[in-house]
Amino acid sequence: MIGTRNETTSRRNFFKHISAGAAGLALGSIYRSSESSARTPVPDNSQVSFVTGTDQREAAYLSLKPLEKEIRKAIQDKQVVIKVNMGQVRKDWWLNATDANQVRGILDFLKPIYDKKVIVAESTAAGATSTMEGFENYNYMPILKEYNVKFTDLNDEPTFTQWIKGENHHPLALNIIGTFLDPNVYLISATRLKSHNCVIATLSLKNVAMASPINHYQQKSREGRNEKPLMHSGGNRGLSYNMFLLATMGVRPDLAVLDGVVGMEGNGPVNGTPVEQGVALASTDWLAADRLGVEMMGMDYSEVKYLQWCSAAGMGQDDLSKIKITGPDYKKHITKYKLHENIDKQREWLVEDFTDKG
Protein backbone atom coordinates (compact mmCIF):
# COMPACT_ATOMS: atom_id res chain seq x y z
CA MET A 1 0.00 0.00 0.00
CA ILE A 2 1.18 3.53 -0.71
CA GLY A 3 2.26 5.33 2.46
CA THR A 4 3.47 3.78 5.69
CA ARG A 5 3.55 6.47 8.39
CA ASN A 6 0.79 6.28 11.04
CA GLU A 7 -0.72 9.61 11.97
CA THR A 8 -3.81 11.29 13.30
CA THR A 9 -5.64 14.29 11.90
CA SER A 10 -8.66 16.35 12.89
CA ARG A 11 -10.42 15.33 9.69
CA ARG A 12 -10.58 11.58 10.18
CA ASN A 13 -10.71 8.92 12.87
CA PHE A 14 -8.65 5.85 12.18
CA PHE A 15 -8.98 2.34 13.50
CA LYS A 16 -7.28 -0.99 13.01
CA HIS A 17 -8.73 -3.14 10.27
CA ILE A 18 -7.47 -6.64 9.49
CA SER A 19 -8.29 -8.21 6.15
CA ALA A 20 -6.95 -10.37 3.34
CA GLY A 21 -4.82 -8.44 0.88
CA ALA A 22 -4.47 -8.88 -2.87
CA ALA A 23 -1.53 -11.23 -2.33
CA GLY A 24 -3.55 -13.38 0.06
CA LEU A 25 -1.78 -12.07 3.19
CA ALA A 26 -3.38 -10.81 6.39
CA LEU A 27 -2.65 -7.09 6.41
CA GLY A 28 -3.25 -4.53 9.12
CA SER A 29 -4.04 -0.96 8.16
CA ILE A 30 -5.23 2.28 9.57
CA TYR A 31 -7.61 3.82 7.08
CA ARG A 32 -9.47 7.02 6.35
CA SER A 33 -12.93 7.16 7.89
CA SER A 34 -15.59 9.84 8.04
CA GLU A 35 -16.16 11.80 11.20
CA SER A 36 -19.72 12.45 12.21
CA SER A 37 -21.33 15.59 10.87
CA ALA A 38 -21.80 16.80 14.47
CA ARG A 39 -18.02 16.81 15.01
CA THR A 40 -17.23 18.02 11.49
CA PRO A 41 -19.88 20.61 10.63
CA VAL A 42 -20.48 21.54 7.02
CA PRO A 43 -18.27 24.59 6.43
CA ASP A 44 -19.77 27.94 5.58
CA ASN A 45 -16.64 29.05 3.73
CA SER A 46 -15.92 26.28 1.23
CA GLN A 47 -14.04 27.72 -1.74
CA VAL A 48 -14.12 26.65 -5.36
CA SER A 49 -11.59 28.20 -7.71
CA PHE A 50 -13.15 28.70 -11.15
CA VAL A 51 -11.28 29.70 -14.30
CA THR A 52 -11.86 29.84 -18.03
CA GLY A 53 -9.48 29.00 -20.87
CA THR A 54 -8.73 26.77 -23.82
CA ASP A 55 -5.57 25.02 -22.60
CA GLN A 56 -6.02 22.21 -20.07
CA ARG A 57 -2.54 22.57 -18.61
CA GLU A 58 -2.85 26.29 -17.95
CA ALA A 59 -6.45 26.01 -16.73
CA ALA A 60 -5.63 23.29 -14.20
CA TYR A 61 -2.65 25.29 -12.90
CA LEU A 62 -4.59 28.54 -12.60
CA SER A 63 -7.52 26.84 -10.88
CA LEU A 64 -5.16 25.54 -8.18
CA LYS A 65 -3.16 28.70 -7.48
CA PRO A 66 -5.76 30.40 -5.24
CA LEU A 67 -5.78 27.25 -3.07
CA GLU A 68 -2.00 26.98 -2.71
CA LYS A 69 -1.72 27.87 0.98
CA GLU A 70 -4.50 25.47 1.97
CA ILE A 71 -3.15 22.62 -0.19
CA ARG A 72 0.43 23.04 1.03
CA LYS A 73 -0.75 22.85 4.65
CA ALA A 74 -2.88 19.76 4.00
CA ILE A 75 -0.22 17.77 2.13
CA GLN A 76 2.43 17.98 4.86
CA ASP A 77 4.62 14.89 4.30
CA LYS A 78 1.94 12.67 2.80
CA GLN A 79 2.31 10.81 -0.47
CA VAL A 80 0.58 12.77 -3.22
CA VAL A 81 -1.41 10.58 -5.61
CA ILE A 82 -3.10 12.03 -8.70
CA LYS A 83 -5.99 9.68 -9.48
CA VAL A 84 -6.71 10.07 -13.19
CA ASN A 85 -9.77 8.71 -14.97
CA MET A 86 -9.58 6.12 -17.74
CA GLY A 87 -12.29 3.51 -17.38
CA GLN A 88 -11.32 2.15 -20.79
CA VAL A 89 -7.93 2.30 -22.48
CA ARG A 90 -8.54 2.01 -26.23
CA LYS A 91 -6.83 4.77 -28.24
CA ASP A 92 -10.04 5.81 -29.97
CA TRP A 93 -11.75 6.32 -26.60
CA TRP A 94 -9.36 9.14 -25.63
CA LEU A 95 -12.25 11.36 -24.53
CA ASN A 96 -13.09 9.02 -21.63
CA ALA A 97 -9.67 9.70 -20.09
CA THR A 98 -8.20 12.54 -18.08
CA ASP A 99 -6.23 14.70 -20.51
CA ALA A 100 -2.46 14.41 -20.05
CA ASN A 101 -2.17 18.19 -20.12
CA GLN A 102 -4.51 18.51 -17.16
CA VAL A 103 -2.08 16.25 -15.28
CA ARG A 104 0.82 18.49 -16.39
CA GLY A 105 -0.99 21.53 -15.01
CA ILE A 106 -1.43 19.84 -11.63
CA LEU A 107 2.24 18.81 -11.61
CA ASP A 108 3.31 22.36 -12.53
CA PHE A 109 1.40 23.57 -9.49
CA LEU A 110 2.84 20.91 -7.17
CA LYS A 111 6.46 21.29 -8.23
CA PRO A 112 7.39 24.28 -6.04
CA ILE A 113 5.47 23.07 -2.97
CA TYR A 114 6.15 19.30 -3.00
CA ASP A 115 9.61 17.81 -3.43
CA LYS A 116 8.75 14.10 -3.32
CA LYS A 117 7.87 11.84 -6.23
CA VAL A 118 4.23 12.23 -7.24
CA ILE A 119 2.29 9.08 -8.08
CA VAL A 120 -0.06 9.23 -11.08
CA ALA A 121 -2.43 6.31 -10.70
CA GLU A 122 -5.48 4.55 -12.07
CA SER A 123 -7.17 1.15 -11.82
CA THR A 124 -8.95 0.70 -15.13
CA ALA A 125 -12.07 -1.43 -15.47
CA ALA A 126 -11.00 -2.49 -18.96
CA GLY A 127 -11.31 -6.27 -18.70
CA ALA A 128 -7.89 -7.92 -18.55
CA THR A 129 -6.16 -4.86 -20.02
CA SER A 130 -3.58 -3.08 -17.90
CA THR A 131 -3.82 0.54 -16.79
CA MET A 132 -0.32 0.93 -18.21
CA GLU A 133 -1.75 0.55 -21.71
CA GLY A 134 -3.93 3.55 -20.98
CA PHE A 135 -0.92 5.63 -19.95
CA GLU A 136 0.67 4.73 -23.28
CA ASN A 137 -2.42 5.14 -25.45
CA TYR A 138 -3.38 8.51 -23.99
CA ASN A 139 0.09 10.10 -24.34
CA TYR A 140 1.08 10.11 -20.68
CA MET A 141 4.53 8.55 -21.15
CA PRO A 142 6.46 11.82 -21.82
CA ILE A 143 5.38 13.00 -18.37
CA LEU A 144 7.82 10.50 -16.84
CA LYS A 145 10.74 12.48 -18.29
CA GLU A 146 9.26 15.90 -17.59
CA TYR A 147 8.49 15.55 -13.88
CA ASN A 148 9.44 13.60 -10.76
CA VAL A 149 6.59 11.11 -11.10
CA LYS A 150 5.81 7.43 -11.04
CA PHE A 151 2.93 5.69 -12.80
CA THR A 152 1.07 3.11 -10.73
CA ASP A 153 -1.51 0.54 -11.74
CA LEU A 154 -3.65 0.45 -8.61
CA ASN A 155 -5.05 -2.92 -9.64
CA ASP A 156 -1.67 -4.34 -8.55
CA GLU A 157 -1.95 -2.88 -5.03
CA PRO A 158 -3.09 -4.67 -1.83
CA THR A 159 -6.79 -4.67 -0.98
CA PHE A 160 -9.02 -4.69 2.08
CA THR A 161 -12.45 -6.27 2.30
CA GLN A 162 -15.30 -3.85 2.90
CA TRP A 163 -19.05 -4.35 2.70
CA ILE A 164 -21.49 -2.64 0.37
CA LYS A 165 -25.17 -3.12 -0.47
CA GLY A 166 -25.81 -6.05 -2.80
CA GLU A 167 -28.89 -7.34 -4.57
CA ASN A 168 -32.03 -7.57 -2.42
CA HIS A 169 -30.32 -5.42 0.23
CA HIS A 170 -27.93 -8.21 1.21
CA PRO A 171 -24.41 -7.23 2.36
CA LEU A 172 -21.80 -7.80 -0.32
CA ALA A 173 -18.05 -8.17 0.24
CA LEU A 174 -15.86 -6.00 -1.97
CA ASN A 175 -12.06 -5.84 -2.17
CA ILE A 176 -11.11 -2.15 -1.97
CA ILE A 177 -7.65 -1.04 -3.12
CA GLY A 178 -5.72 0.06 -0.05
CA THR A 179 -4.45 3.33 -1.54
CA PHE A 180 -7.97 4.78 -1.33
CA LEU A 181 -8.09 4.07 2.42
CA ASP A 182 -4.58 5.16 3.33
CA PRO A 183 -4.46 8.22 5.63
CA ASN A 184 -0.88 8.84 4.52
CA VAL A 185 -2.07 9.58 0.98
CA TYR A 186 -3.10 13.02 -0.26
CA LEU A 187 -5.56 12.03 -2.97
CA ILE A 188 -6.16 14.31 -5.94
CA SER A 189 -9.08 13.42 -8.20
CA ALA A 190 -8.50 14.69 -11.76
CA THR A 191 -11.21 14.07 -14.33
CA ARG A 192 -13.26 15.61 -17.10
CA LEU A 193 -16.82 16.74 -16.61
CA LYS A 194 -18.75 13.84 -18.17
CA SER A 195 -22.31 12.68 -18.55
CA HIS A 196 -22.97 9.17 -17.25
CA ASN A 197 -25.15 6.18 -18.08
CA CYS A 198 -26.18 5.34 -14.49
CA VAL A 199 -25.76 8.31 -12.12
CA ILE A 200 -26.22 11.31 -14.43
CA ALA A 201 -22.67 12.69 -14.13
CA THR A 202 -19.03 11.72 -13.59
CA LEU A 203 -17.27 14.11 -11.21
CA SER A 204 -14.48 13.90 -8.63
CA LEU A 205 -16.12 11.47 -6.19
CA LYS A 206 -17.20 9.03 -8.85
CA ASN A 207 -13.70 9.03 -10.32
CA VAL A 208 -12.41 7.81 -6.95
CA ALA A 209 -15.23 5.59 -5.70
CA MET A 210 -15.65 3.54 -8.88
CA ALA A 211 -11.90 2.99 -9.17
CA SER A 212 -11.51 1.65 -5.64
CA PRO A 213 -12.75 -1.96 -6.17
CA ILE A 214 -10.06 -4.25 -7.56
CA ASN A 215 -9.83 -5.56 -11.11
CA HIS A 216 -7.83 -8.81 -10.81
CA TYR A 217 -5.84 -8.81 -14.07
CA GLN A 218 -3.77 -11.80 -13.00
CA GLN A 219 -6.67 -13.99 -11.96
CA LYS A 220 -6.84 -17.05 -14.22
CA SER A 221 -10.61 -17.29 -14.27
CA ARG A 222 -12.43 -14.37 -15.87
CA GLU A 223 -15.39 -14.95 -13.56
CA GLY A 224 -15.25 -12.43 -10.73
CA ARG A 225 -12.03 -10.91 -12.03
CA ASN A 226 -13.34 -7.36 -12.12
CA GLU A 227 -15.12 -6.34 -8.92
CA LYS A 228 -16.02 -2.84 -10.06
CA PRO A 229 -19.37 -3.98 -11.55
CA LEU A 230 -20.39 -5.17 -8.08
CA MET A 231 -20.91 -1.51 -7.25
CA HIS A 232 -23.92 -1.65 -9.57
CA SER A 233 -25.68 -4.26 -7.43
CA GLY A 234 -29.21 -2.99 -6.92
CA GLY A 235 -29.26 -1.08 -10.18
CA ASN A 236 -28.83 2.67 -10.49
CA ARG A 237 -30.16 3.27 -6.98
CA GLY A 238 -27.70 0.71 -5.64
CA LEU A 239 -24.77 2.32 -7.43
CA SER A 240 -25.61 5.75 -6.02
CA TYR A 241 -25.91 4.33 -2.54
CA ASN A 242 -22.73 2.30 -2.76
CA MET A 243 -20.70 5.33 -3.87
CA PHE A 244 -22.11 7.20 -0.88
CA LEU A 245 -21.31 4.24 1.37
CA LEU A 246 -17.67 4.09 0.23
CA ALA A 247 -17.39 7.84 0.76
CA THR A 248 -18.46 7.38 4.39
CA MET A 249 -15.56 4.92 4.74
CA GLY A 250 -13.11 7.55 3.51
CA VAL A 251 -12.97 6.69 -0.19
CA ARG A 252 -13.11 10.29 -1.37
CA PRO A 253 -10.71 12.96 -2.67
CA ASP A 254 -8.68 15.42 -0.66
CA LEU A 255 -8.58 17.70 -3.68
CA ALA A 256 -10.86 17.85 -6.72
CA VAL A 257 -9.60 19.19 -10.06
CA LEU A 258 -12.28 19.16 -12.76
CA ASP A 259 -11.64 19.73 -16.46
CA GLY A 260 -14.40 21.33 -18.47
CA VAL A 261 -12.05 22.79 -21.06
CA VAL A 262 -13.17 19.77 -23.07
CA GLY A 263 -15.91 17.77 -21.37
CA MET A 264 -18.06 14.86 -22.53
CA GLU A 265 -21.80 14.90 -23.17
CA GLY A 266 -24.28 12.31 -24.42
CA ASN A 267 -23.46 8.65 -23.97
CA GLY A 268 -20.77 9.01 -21.33
CA PRO A 269 -18.73 7.92 -19.57
CA VAL A 270 -17.04 6.35 -22.63
CA ASN A 271 -19.06 6.85 -25.82
CA GLY A 272 -20.01 10.50 -25.51
CA THR A 273 -19.01 13.45 -27.66
CA PRO A 274 -16.78 16.47 -26.87
CA VAL A 275 -18.03 19.71 -25.36
CA GLU A 276 -15.54 22.55 -25.73
CA GLN A 277 -16.79 24.47 -22.70
CA GLY A 278 -13.53 26.19 -21.77
CA VAL A 279 -13.78 25.97 -17.97
CA ALA A 280 -11.91 24.36 -15.08
CA LEU A 281 -12.43 24.28 -11.33
CA ALA A 282 -10.74 23.03 -8.19
CA SER A 283 -11.49 22.77 -4.49
CA THR A 284 -10.27 21.12 -1.32
CA ASP A 285 -13.97 20.57 -0.62
CA TRP A 286 -14.58 17.92 -3.26
CA LEU A 287 -18.33 18.08 -2.73
CA ALA A 288 -18.42 21.81 -3.39
CA ALA A 289 -16.44 21.22 -6.60
CA ASP A 290 -18.79 18.46 -7.72
CA ARG A 291 -21.81 20.61 -6.89
CA LEU A 292 -20.53 23.43 -9.07
CA GLY A 293 -19.60 20.88 -11.73
CA VAL A 294 -23.21 19.74 -11.91
CA GLU A 295 -24.28 23.36 -12.27
CA MET A 296 -21.73 24.04 -15.01
CA MET A 297 -23.11 21.09 -17.01
CA GLY A 298 -26.64 22.49 -16.80
CA MET A 299 -27.89 19.41 -14.96
CA ASP A 300 -30.60 19.14 -12.32
CA TYR A 301 -28.81 18.72 -9.01
CA SER A 302 -31.89 17.16 -7.43
CA GLU A 303 -31.25 14.12 -9.64
CA VAL A 304 -27.67 13.56 -8.46
CA LYS A 305 -28.63 11.79 -5.26
CA TYR A 306 -25.25 10.44 -4.21
CA LEU A 307 -23.91 13.96 -3.80
CA GLN A 308 -26.94 15.06 -1.82
CA TRP A 309 -26.51 12.11 0.54
CA CYS A 310 -22.84 13.00 1.06
CA SER A 311 -23.90 16.53 1.93
CA ALA A 312 -26.49 15.24 4.42
CA ALA A 313 -23.72 13.15 6.01
CA GLY A 314 -21.57 16.25 6.52
CA MET A 315 -18.85 15.49 3.98
CA GLY A 316 -18.85 18.91 2.35
CA GLN A 317 -20.86 21.88 1.17
CA ASP A 318 -23.45 21.64 -1.62
CA ASP A 319 -25.27 24.92 -1.01
CA LEU A 320 -24.08 27.26 -3.77
CA SER A 321 -25.02 30.28 -1.66
CA LYS A 322 -22.50 29.15 0.98
CA ILE A 323 -19.67 28.33 -1.43
CA LYS A 324 -17.12 31.05 -2.17
CA ILE A 325 -16.55 30.82 -5.92
CA THR A 326 -13.50 32.79 -7.06
CA GLY A 327 -12.96 33.84 -10.66
CA PRO A 328 -15.33 35.09 -13.37
CA ASP A 329 -19.10 34.79 -13.13
CA TYR A 330 -19.64 31.05 -13.58
CA LYS A 331 -23.27 31.58 -14.60
CA LYS A 332 -22.09 33.06 -17.89
CA HIS A 333 -20.23 29.84 -18.73
CA ILE A 334 -22.86 27.20 -17.99
CA THR A 335 -23.33 24.77 -20.88
CA LYS A 336 -26.30 22.41 -20.89
CA TYR A 337 -24.76 19.00 -21.59
CA LYS A 338 -26.74 16.49 -23.55
CA LEU A 339 -27.62 13.63 -21.18
CA HIS A 340 -27.21 9.93 -21.87
CA GLU A 341 -29.80 8.45 -24.19
CA ASN A 342 -31.04 6.22 -21.35
CA ILE A 343 -31.75 9.17 -19.03
CA ASP A 344 -35.41 8.21 -18.60
CA LYS A 345 -34.29 4.81 -17.31
CA GLN A 346 -31.86 6.49 -14.93
CA ARG A 347 -34.65 8.62 -13.53
CA GLU A 348 -37.07 5.78 -12.81
CA TRP A 349 -36.01 5.19 -9.22
CA LEU A 350 -35.84 8.92 -8.50
CA VAL A 351 -39.61 9.30 -8.71
CA GLU A 352 -40.41 6.55 -6.21
CA ASP A 353 -42.12 8.05 -3.17
CA PHE A 354 -39.68 6.82 -0.55
CA THR A 355 -36.71 8.54 -2.19
CA ASP A 356 -38.25 11.91 -1.44
CA LYS A 357 -38.51 11.25 2.31
CA GLY A 358 -34.86 11.01 3.25
Q: Which of 323, 254, 252, 205 is nearest to 74 (CA)?
A: 254
Could you give the 3-state DSSP secondary structure of residue 153? strand
Higher pLDDT, 351 or 317: 317
Q: Are strands 201-202 and 185-195 parallel, antiparallel or unpaired?
A: antiparallel
DSSP annotation of 128: T
CA distance 49 to 45: 13
Q: What is the pLDDT of residue 4?
A: 34
pLDDT (mean) for 267-294: 97
CATH 3.40.50 holds for 43-356 = yes
Q: What is the pLDDT of residue 1?
A: 46
What pTM, to 2 d.p., does this model score?
0.88
- Asked whether the predicted pLDDT for residue 241 surpasses 80, the reply is yes
pLDDT tier for residue 17 given thresholds of 50, 70 and 90: very low
User: What confidence tens digit (pLDDT) does each residue in 92-149 have?
Assistant: 999 999 999 999 999 999 999 999 999 999 999 987 678 999 999 999 999 999 999 9
Report whether 227 contacts 213 (CB < 8 A): yes
Higher pLDDT, 34 or 84: 84
CB-CB neighbours of 165 under 10 Å:
19
Higher pLDDT, 240 or 221: 240
Could you give the 3-state DSSP secondary structure of residue 354? helix
For the chain, which residues make up each domain, given as ranges?
43-356
The mean predicted confidence, pLDDT, of the chain is: 87
